[in-house]
């Protein structure tokens, strides 16, 4: 009975957390701020402690998760509707390098030392401070950089190269299964796909591990 109860509580806790994270959106993971990090920890702790507490039932787990998730959701709504609240609740980006000079006071304010700054800019592919014109510490702890003109990579207009329209590749087959929605979106049908595969001596879609369509390059196929 004890293991059965833990199993049931784990399943319900998992479902509750899954629903809450879906409601709160992807930014909880991809653009996590200090408060988002704390919120995620608390959600996990609520479920974890409740599962191993004999006096806490499923209803209390769901209640605690829903209330905490609701508080976070309300906070997100506040920051979306009232821009003035964002600085207080989410923090503000801080310029730490300006016109090629490291702003020592900004580093102190952000509790950042030179070694940490070097680590952050190396993650952006920059290994020398002299290459930077500006660097901004974002609210999620990452650094956005702007290089000096002489260190910027040349663009196509700089090289006077003719510009071509860019297309996104569309996955047509994945693990032997045709993705019908993508096939239709690309403007094709099953007959066209079969003809394309036959040209590459493939007679069944089940033989294809991956196939994608790219405008201007045609169909790329990789079989099992």
> Under CATH, domain 170-223 is a member of which superfamily?
bsu07140 like domains (3.30.240.20)
**Is 94-151's fold the same as 170-223's?**
yes
Q: What is the pLDDT of residues 63-84, one digit of tens each?
A: 777 777 777 777 777 777 777 7
> Which pTM was predicted?
0.56
Fold entry, domain 94-151? CRO Repressor (3.30.240)
Segment 90-120, tens digit of pLDDT: 668 899 999 999 999 998 888 888 888 899 9
Query: Which SS3 state, helix, strand or coil, does residue 128 take?
Result: coil
Residue 32 has pLDDT above 60, yes or no: no
Give the separation between CA 123 and CA 127, rounded to whole angstroms.
9
**What's the mean per-residue pLDDT of the chain?**
80
In this prediction, residues 120-129 reach a mean pLDDT of 90
The pLDDT of 194-215, averaged and rounded, is 91
Per-residue pLDDT at 110: 85
pLDDT of 28 above 50? no
Name the residue ranges covered by the structural domains of the chain. 2-87, 94-151, 170-223
């Amino acid at each position: 009975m004890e293991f059965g109860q833990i199993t049931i509580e784990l399943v319900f806790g998992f479902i509750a957390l899954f629903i809450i994270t879906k409601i709160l959106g992807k930014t909880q993971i991809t653009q996590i701020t200090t408060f988002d990090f704390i919120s995620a920890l608390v959600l996990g702790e609520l479920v974890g402690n409740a599962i191993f507490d004999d006096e806490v039932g499923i209803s209390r787990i769901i209640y605690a998760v829903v209330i905490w998730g609701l508080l976070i959701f309300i906070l997100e709504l506040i920051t979306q509707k009232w821009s003035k609240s964002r600085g207080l609740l989410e923090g503000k980006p801080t310029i730490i390098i300006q016109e090629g000079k490291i702003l020592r006071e900004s580093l102190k304010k952000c509790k950042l030392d030179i070694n940490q700054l070097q680590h952050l800019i190396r993650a952006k592919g920059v290994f020398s401070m002299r290459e930077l014109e500006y660097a901004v510490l974002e609210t999620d702890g990452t650094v956005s950089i702007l290089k000096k003109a002489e260190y910027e990579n040349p663009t196509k207009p700089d090289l006077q190269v003719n510009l071509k329209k860019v297309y996104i590749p569309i996955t047509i087959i994945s693990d032997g299964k045709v993705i019908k929605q993508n096939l239709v979106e690309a403007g094709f049908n099953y007959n066209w796909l079969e003809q394309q595969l036959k040209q590459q001596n493939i007679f069944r879609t089940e033989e294809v591990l991956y196939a994608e369509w790219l405008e201007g390059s045609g169909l790329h196929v990789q079989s099992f």
